[in-house]
Chain A
Amino acid sequence: MIPSLALTHIQAFLLFAAVISLAFGFLGRRRPKDRVKYILWSFFLFLLIGIGIGWAMYPFSR
């Protein structure tokens, strides 16, 4: 019933970060300006930490 979806690693990573940041921003902050700042900051930290962990694991990947 539901179409199959094939996302690359980076696409899944970006989608996950964006969706969770959006939810955190709306649940954690009340004013629109604060929400936007929180969403952007959370998204940036997701990317930074995710890519950082990826690079940290690189020496053990082979």
Chain B
Amino acid sequence: MSEENNETLPLEQPPSNQDTASPVARDSAPSEGKAWGVAIAGWLLPGLGHALQRMWGRALVVFLTVGLLVIVGASMRGNLFTSDGSDAFDTLGYVADLGAGSFYFLARTVERGGADVSHAGGDYGTRFLATAGVLNLLAALHAYEAARGRKA
């Protein structure tokens, strides 16, 4: 694969002089503002950052995996941290949970009876919820890099 690229690369390279670049090429340069918009959209709704860039497979997988982790975590009565935490670990947990964007608030709405971490299942649920948030932040960062034109 890389050998094929090396063979074809010289033919596909654009002219090095920027003055000769076409207007179309200049217009399609990645925009920092657009990239931030994509990242924020991906954080608010998991998968949306990729969907806006027509990366349908990645958008679907991010949406489903983050959603599944949130649903399972809430079903196992994991702890959803809030902003009024008493120590640094609560604050870190809140930041991780909030990474799931709108799904965090959805989980707070649907979680029945509150958290129960007196059993291992509830503790696992807490990890599932935190992982959903961190995974969504990773996906939003990935969408941001893709929007900036980085290889993704």
Binding site for B on A (CB under 8 A): 1-7, 9, 12, 15-16, 19-20, 22-23, 26-27
Find residues 49-90 in chain B having any chain A CB closer than 8 Å to their own CB: 57-58, 61-62, 65-66, 68-69, 71-72, 74-77
Point out the residue from B57, B111, B112 that lies within 8 Å of A26, measured CB to CB.
B57
> Chain A CB within 10 Å — which of B62, B77, B124 has the most?
B124
Find residues 114-140 in chain B having any chain A CB closer than 8 Å to their own CB: 120-121, 124, 127-128, 131, 135, 138-139
Point out the residue from B71, B75, B112, B135 that lies within 8 Å of A23, measured CB to CB.
B135
Contact sample, A vs B, 8 pairs, CB 8 Å cutoff = A2-B112, A3-B75, A4-B77, A5-B72, A7-B124, A22-B65, A23-B65, A26-B57
Measured as residues with beta carbon below 8 angstroms from the partner, the interface class of chain B is: 20 to 34
Distance from B132 Cβ to chain A, minimum over Cβ atoms (Å): 9
Distance from A39 Cβ to chain B, minimum over Cβ atoms (Å): 10
Distance from B146 Cβ to chain A, minimum over Cβ atoms (Å): 10
Residues in B neighbouring A1, C-beta threshold 8 A: 109-110, 112
Check A19–B65 contact: CB distance below 8 A. yes
